Chains A and B, each alone.
Chain A
Amino acid sequence: MSTNRRKQVNPVHLKTFVRCLLAVLLLASAGLFFVFIKNQQFALAEEIRQVERRIAGVRAQNDALLARVTELSSRRALQQKIAEGFIVMKPIQDNVIARLSPPATAAADGILRTAFVERARP
């Protein structure tokens, strides 16, 4: 083989080739990573949307139940239950009140036995 012919051979520059390959791989993986991250973002956002919707639903149900509780425990409802005999209010009988001092009646001293007077009485 002549010297001239040897000179015409184009050698493969492995170092450069590897460098280029790495650069391409890096760019490709960066692109793929970007797509992956973007997909992740969409998936998470959708998940957040679903959770938001569930929270709003639960909150609305909670508010509806609170409104129902308010209605059932309202003065009107309680009065209606009393009128229907469903619940009964009875005055506290004298014999079930524990007193530290002997009871006095209005007839004895002319003072009505209201809760305030009872509290204030020595």
Chain B
Amino acid sequence: MRWTARTRTGIVCGAVAVVFTVFSARLVHLQVAKHDEYARLAAEKHTMRVVMHARRGLIFDRNGELLASNLPVRKVVADGSHIKNPRAVARIVAPIMELDEDEVARKLSSDRKYIVLGRQLPEDKGVELRNALDKANLRGVELEPDAVRIYPNGQMLGHVLGFLDHEGAGIQGIELTMEKSLCGSDGHRFIERDRTGREIMLYRGQEEPAEHGLNVRLTIDMGLQAILEEELDLAFHDLKPEMAVGILVDPSTGEILAMANRPCFDPNNKGVGKPEEMKNRAIIDMVEPGSTFKIVVASGALNEGKVKENTGIFCENGAFAYGGKVLHDHHPYGTMTTHEILVKSSNIGSAKMALMMGDTKYHEYVRRFGFGEKSGIELPGEIGGMVNPVRRWDKLTITRMAMGQSVSVTPLQMTMGMSVIANRGKLMLPQVVRSVEDSDGAVIVAKPPKVVREVIPRKVADYVSDALGGVVGEGGTAQLAKVAGFTVAGKTGTAQKISPKGGYAPGKYVVSFVGYLPEEDPRFVCLVMIDDPKIASSLAYGGLVAAPIFSRVGERAARHLDLVPTLRAQPSIPLALNPGANRKSAATP
């Protein structure tokens, strides 16, 4: 081969071509074959996923009064790798956040990328901190948006509303049961940061917006709630009971209009609340109902045809020996109709009606009224009460259960039981949530009233209702439950309190009154239950303690609801009382 200039040129060009071909091949390999891998590595270095928090839904009462809201606050976090002078940053951050400067400086000296300096910094303090850092031209501290739940009415309705845990999830009350609707879902955004840690807006990546939580509208009427709570507060202050419960229900729909317990707590300061204050006793405590339970036996016996409206039942002149025990009435009575038995609250008459029905049939009616099972209200922790199956009854059970012993019910169950009579025989599903709405108020989920079952026919309910009207009338046990201008029907209950040691605690009673008005067209059923009022035991009767509270609540509630009076206005309450007529006496041998 001749080593000519052309040959040399050809060799050099060839070599250069080979070198560039290799480079090109490597370039193609990096750009095409390794694209995903290097893109991921680059993204990991500069890109980060920022969470966009969803706003928790609000809770309103039925009239749009705000019950639970969100207060924006800031979470203060720092990126240690971006902080060159921890002491200077600490000097600004510490006084605004009311922290120890040395402690902050020590935390900031770390190289960690996510250091939480504090939570729940108020918005105005956040602005102050941001401005101070900007002015000093210091970087590395970020103020992440956050929120705390606030309950503007404090302890009012606290048991129903519940509260959140430290991570913002509902753990009590409506906050828990409606968690899925209220919480919404967080969104996210991929961003890139420059070397100073600031977002490069131009390279903002894929974004999924947050879906804010839906609002929940309750059936509660805060006007009625305030009335009920005020009256319970007075009773709790004056009578110093173990607990007091009040419930207002619309019998035609099953909607809970008000629900209150004492003692109570403020969900804004749940940390200081005691466990016993946080119990919603209206649904998680069970008590022996006492005479209020007599509506069940009267309804059952009438509906089964065991007694007629004018059937006379001999009440043994106050002492009835059965099953080796003697059952007493407070006063000796002779022969009485069902109407009179309810008005006078005769234990013996009720027991005899239950015996006429028989164990199985009576048990069936107890269950049909909703006792012994959870009512299905949208509140957590509800219990079903205790109604033993017939096979576990002894010979005395049926006579005791007829007057509200040997059975345990929740205050809500008792209220719904009375609602059956007020609603002319139909048991409604108790509801505390009316609807779920979006932020514009459009209804997403409506909760219409639901009939659980027809417990008794209208005719029977009307008869029992008429008798319950007599309970509040002359000679009845609840004359103090009268409400001026309105016909009232209801039933008192005075039950001996069960002792933890077994048997009944001497001198301790659970007194109650559950009634409704106007009797002709009931607009609400109200239960007032006081556990162990600290008064003389000769005065501890449902008709003397709970009935006056009902009367005050009923009068104010009627005004609030603007009900048309159905009676001529009369001067007030007669003083001649027959208070002891409905007290349960423990069976004596």
- Which residues of A are at the interface with B, using a C-beta cutoff of 8 A? 41-42, 45-46, 48-49, 56-57, 60-61, 63-64, 66-67, 70-71, 74-77, 79, 106-107, 110-112, 114-117, 120
CB atoms of B564 and A114 under 8 A apart? yes
CB atoms of B152 and A74 under 8 A apart? yes
CB atoms of A41 and B202 under 8 A apart? yes
User: In the assembly, what is the distance between CA of A85 and CA of B222, in Å?
Assistant: 22
Name the residue on A nearest B564 (C-beta).
A116
User: In the assembly, what is the distance between CA of A66 and CA of B415, in Å?
Assistant: 38
CB atoms of B71 and A63 under 8 A apart? yes
Contacts A46-B201, A49-B199, A106-B569 known; A64 to B559 CB distance under 8 Å?
no
Known A57-B127, A110-B569; further 17 A-B contacts with Cβ < 8 A: A57-B130, A61-B123, A63-B71, A64-B72, A64-B123, A67-B72, A71-B150, A74-B66, A74-B152, A75-B226, A77-B152, A111-B565, A111-B568, A112-B485, A114-B559, A114-B563, A116-B564
The 4 lowest CB-CB distance pairs between A and B, nearest first, are: A110-B568, A45-B201, A74-B152, A64-B123
Contacts A45-B200, A117-B564 known; A63 to B152 CB distance under 8 Å?
no
CB atoms of A112 and B569 under 8 A apart? yes
CB atoms of A67 and B569 under 8 A apart? no
Contacts A114-B562, A117-B565 known; A63 to B70 CB distance under 8 Å?
yes
Name the residue on B nearest A120 (C-beta).
B564
Give A72 Cβ to nearest chain B Cβ, in Å: 9
Name the residue on A nearest B126 (C-beta).
A60
CB atoms of A42 and B154 under 8 A apart? no
User: In the assembly, what is the distance between CA of A64 and CA of B69, in Å?
Assistant: 10
Name the residue on A nearest B484 (C-beta).
A112
CB atoms of B152 and A71 under 8 A apart? yes
CB atoms of A116 and B156 under 8 A apart? no
- Which residues of B are at the interface with A, using a C-beta cutoff of 8 A? 65-66, 69-72, 122-124, 126-127, 130, 145, 150, 152-154, 156, 198-202, 222, 226, 484-485, 559, 562-565, 568-569
Contacts of A48 in B (CB 8 A): 201
Contacts of A42 in B (CB 8 A): 200, 202
Name the residue on B nearest A109 (C-beta).
B568
User: In the assembly, what is the distance between CA of A111 and CA of B145, in Å?
Assistant: 58
User: In the assembly, what is the distance between CA of A76 and CA of B152, in Å?
Assistant: 7
- For B72, B153, B200, B226, the residue with the greatest tally of chain A CB atoms inside 10 Å of its CB is B72
Name the residue on A nearest B565 (C-beta).
A112
Contacts of A79 in B (CB 8 A): 226
CB atoms of A74 and B70 under 8 A apart? no
Contacts of B484 in A (CB 8 A): 112
Give B271 Cβ to nearest chain A Cβ, in Å: 19
CB atoms of A75 and B202 under 8 A apart? no
Give B364 Cβ to nearest chain A Cβ, in Å: 42
User: In the assembly, what is the distance between CA of A106 and CA of B485, in Å?
Assistant: 10
- Could you list 12 A-B pairs, sorted by A, with CB under 8 Å? A42-B202, A48-B201, A56-B145, A57-B130, A63-B71, A64-B72, A74-B152, A77-B152, A112-B484, A114-B559, A114-B562, A114-B563
User: In the assembly, what is the distance between CA of A90 and CA of B569, in Å?
Assistant: 23
Contacts of A110 in B (CB 8 A): 568-569
CB atoms of A70 and B66 under 8 A apart? yes
CB atoms of A74 and B569 under 8 A apart? no
Contacts of B226 in A (CB 8 A): 75, 79
User: In the assembly, what is the distance between CA of A56 and CA of B485, in Å?
Assistant: 56
- For A61, A71, A116, the residue with the greatest tally of chain B CB atoms inside 10 Å of its CB is A71
Give A84 Cβ to nearest chain B Cβ, in Å: 15
Contacts of A77 in B (CB 8 A): 152
Name the residue on B nearest A118 (C-beta).
B562
User: In the assembly, what is the distance between CA of A64 and CA of B569, in Å?
Assistant: 49
CB atoms of A67 and B70 under 8 A apart? yes
User: In the assembly, what is the distance between CA of A67 and CA of B152, in Å?
Assistant: 8
Name the residue on A nearest B155 (C-beta).
A76
B222 partner, pick from A41, A75, A114, beta carbons under 8 A: A75
Give A113 Cβ to nearest chain B Cβ, in Å: 9
- For A46, A112, A114, the residue with the greatest tally of chain B CB atoms inside 10 Å of its CB is A112
User: In the assembly, what is the distance between CA of A111 and CA of B565, in Å?
Assistant: 7
Give A76 Cβ to nearest chain B Cβ, in Å: 5
- For B65, B66, B198, the residue with the greatest tally of chain A CB atoms inside 10 Å of its CB is B66
Contacts A45-B200, A75-B65 known; A63 to B564 CB distance under 8 Å?
no
Name the residue on A nearest B65 (C-beta).
A75
Name the residue on A nearest B122 (C-beta).
A64
CB atoms of B152 and A70 under 8 A apart? yes
Give B96 Cβ to nearest chain A Cβ, in Å: 16
B124 partner, pick from A64, A67, A75, A106, beta carbons under 8 A: A64
CB atoms of B154 and A76 under 8 A apart? yes
Name the residue on A nearest B153 (C-beta).
A76
Contacts of B69 in A (CB 8 A): 66-67, 70
Contacts of B154 in A (CB 8 A): 76
